[in-house]
Amino acid sequence: MKTITRRRLITTGLAATAGIAGVTEAARLAKRYGLAPPDCGGIYGPGETLTYAASRIFGAHAMAREFPRSMISEKPFANETPPLSDDFHQQQAVGFKDWTLTVDGLVSHPTKFSIADLKTLGRSSQITEVSCEEGWSYVAEWIGTPLAAVLREVQPAPQARFAAYFSVQRELWGSIDIAEATHPQTQLTWAMNDGDLPVGFGGPLRIRVPRQLGYKSLKYIDRITVTDSMKRFGKGLGSVDPEYGYSWYAGI
């Protein structure tokens, strides 16, 4: 058998030290360059950081796959949400004409937008897939206003790093980084498949983040807050999802 020589001991020791130092340094660099997700603490932090960093480095400008019209799902599946409030149903009765989206936080011009206001800001349409973390998926045409157009209107401060968004169902909220928020396919959606956005699919207003799983595309959005840190929101993990054990970044 091989004996433990001094040389072997020293080489192994050096390799181990270099390994630990390398991992620590990598973690520091990831934080410094904004490559660590808000939920990067804990035992799954290394995996989450690798996934998020890889997506930022290799896929920052990649476009979600778009499909031909013929591939639009005939029967899309609307996932369940918690019951909607009486106030919501009253707004629904008048065609959501009083629905407002408040955009505030680290912006020069905090603004309240009606859905009609959003429609004048810009219109984009995309035939993209909704993929649920459970495994199922469907393709639909999503029509709305690019979030980038809304952000141009309110002028985020240079130190802005995240756009946090809130559902009228206050227990549901999330965030994406500024790169994702200003991505051309990230959309405030108000129509689907050439009709108004049905309530089951998030009408009157949802966010679509087609490069991430369905749970990032929150329904019934009425507020967006631009911020430099997610620490002050909820438990500081970036969205409500990690508080239930689900990752903040959902590109996979």
Partner 1 sequence: MPPAPQPTVVAPRHSLVVRITHWLTVIAFFALLISGLEIVISHPRFYWGETGNVMTKPLFTLPIPSSRDTVPTAYKFVMPDQNGWSRYLHFQAAWLVLLTGAVYFVVSLWNRHFLRDLWPPAGQRNLQAYTRVITSYLRGRHRSIDDASSYNVLQRTAYLVVIFVLFPLMIWTGLAMSPAFVSVAPWSSAVLGGKQSARTLHFAVTFALTFFVFLHIVMVTLAGFWRRMRAMTTGLPASPVHEERP
The distance of closest approach from Cβ of residue 46 to partner 1 in the complex, given in angstroms and rounded to an integer, is 7
User: Which of 65, 97, 152, 232 is in the footprint of partner 1 by CB under 8 A?
Assistant: 65
213 scored as a contact of partner 1 (CB under 8 A):
yes
Between 96 and 201, name the residue whose CB sits nearer to partner 1.
201
Using CA atoms, how far apart are residues 181 and 177, in angstroms rounded to an integer? 6
HSE, side-chain direction, 13 A CA sphere, residue 118: 31
- Residue 219 phi/psi, 5-degree rounding, is -95, 160
**6-32 helix and 45-59 helix, angle to the nearest 10 degrees:** 60
245 scored as a contact of partner 1 (CB under 8 A):
yes
CA dihedral (138, 144, 145, 146) in degrees, to 10, reads 20
User: Which of 89, 136, 152, 157 is in the footprint of partner 1 by CB under 8 A?
Assistant: 136
x/- mask, partner 1, residues 106-125, rule CB under 8 A, reads --------------------
Three-state DSSP at 135 gives coil
Q: 130 - beta bridge partners?
A: 138
Name the site residues for partner 1 (rule: CB under 8 A): 1-3, 44, 46-48, 50-51, 55, 58-59, 62-65, 67, 71, 73, 75-77, 79-80, 129, 131-139, 210-213, 244-247, 251-252
